Chains A and B, each alone.
Chain A
């Protein structure tokens, strides 16, 4: 299931708001995506995990990231639109049985959800948004 993703465009958009978003995340000692475990993830299940994480951002993260700045909100919705178009491509793969979910992908995804739900919703959403470069690094290697 090979998918073309405009990672560079998303990274540029995120790069302009990264410092502001990450500055709003005071918790250094907890992570939602945990970069190391994401990078060491089994290649086989990557498609399923990628689609699940994109779905997680669309359903739980972007909608709780409203800020007082129109500029930042516009950048966030631009990133959300890019995620939406990528997620649709993954859905096509899944419909054609090329993106099956193994146990490891499911466990990893549940771990991410648990990390997220341990925090206050807005704080967790802002932290997840601040960890976008972790996800982009991983998707780039996908």
Chain B
């Protein structure tokens, strides 16, 4: 079986190929070999640092440093003298497939101003002694978003929300509840007594049920 899931992981144009070992084979005995190809050319190139390696990744930054080109890579596994077939990576475009780190920045404040000094992240460079490239030399339209977080304003906003929205809503709900409660008590709980100044007036002739329904009128007293 062949290596699986061969893919590039790139950060600030440091392009590292990763893969998974073949299934069902003890990893410690496996050896890998990696080649890469500039898309559109015919020669697969063997990277010297990625030959007969046991780890499941390899740094191909040097070979893929021309960020205007596109690349494919492939990996083969060796075990006890026998080898697997190649597994290829999807096409890799350094310019669009790399993840750019946030820029480094420094703050300095004056009386009425704050100045923000932003430095683009450094890209991978062939050797550390070289002056590193900066991403803005590669991405002509590298843009920065600077946002300011005002903690004081935040507390004012909180107070406004509390007094402006939460409290009035709570008060309204409370008033509604109290009035519903009073109405309910008035209707259902308090015992209804007839006012003392009313007397029952009976009309004749009356049968038994009509008498009970006679009207109540205020007495002359």
Partner-B contacts on A (CB < 8 A): 11, 15, 19, 22-23, 28-31, 34-36, 39, 130, 133-134, 136-137, 140-141
A29:B40 contact, CB within 8 angstroms: yes
| Measured CA separation A65–B13 after assembly (Å) | 32
Residues of A within 8 A of B70 (CB): 35, 133-134
Residues of B within 8 A of A35 (CB): 39-40, 68-70
B72 contacts A by Cβ under 8 Å: yes
B100 contacts A by Cβ under 8 Å: no
B31 contacts A by Cβ under 8 Å: no
Partner-A contacts on B (CB < 8 A): 37, 39-42, 66, 68-70, 72, 88, 90-91, 93, 95-96, 140-141
**Interface residue from B39, B41, B72, B96 paired with A137 (Cβ < 8 Å):** B96
- Given contacts A36-B69, A134-B70, A141-B140, A28 and B39 within 8 Å (CB-CB): yes
Residues of B within 8 A of A29 (CB): 37, 40-42
B68:A36 contact, CB within 8 angstroms: yes
| Min C-beta distance of A14 to chain B, whole Å | 9
**Interface residue from B90, B95, B140 paired with A19 (Cβ < 8 Å):** B90
B91:A22 contact, CB within 8 angstroms: yes
| Min C-beta distance of A111 to chain B, whole Å | 12
**Interface residue from A22, A133, A136, A140 paired with B90 (Cβ < 8 Å):** A22
| Min C-beta distance of A137 to chain B, whole Å | 5
Q: Count of A-B contacts with CB under 8 A?
A: 42
Name the residue on B nearest A11 (C-beta).
B96
Residues of B within 8 A of A136 (CB): 96
| Measured CA separation A31–B42 after assembly (Å) | 10
Residues of A within 8 A of B96 (CB): 11, 15, 133, 136-137
A140:B140 contact, CB within 8 angstroms: yes
The 7 closest A-B pairs by CB, nearest first: A31-B40, A29-B42, A39-B68, A22-B91, A28-B72, A133-B93, A137-B95
Name the residue on B nearest A8 (C-beta).
B141
| Min C-beta distance of A76 to chain B, whole Å | 18
| Measured CA separation A3–B24 after assembly (Å) | 56
| Min C-beta distance of B64 to chain A, whole Å | 13
- Given contacts A11-B96, A19-B90, A130-B91, A137 and B68 within 8 Å (CB-CB): yes
B37:A28 contact, CB within 8 angstroms: yes
Residues of A within 8 A of B39 (CB): 28, 31, 35
| Measured CA separation A22–B93 after assembly (Å) | 12
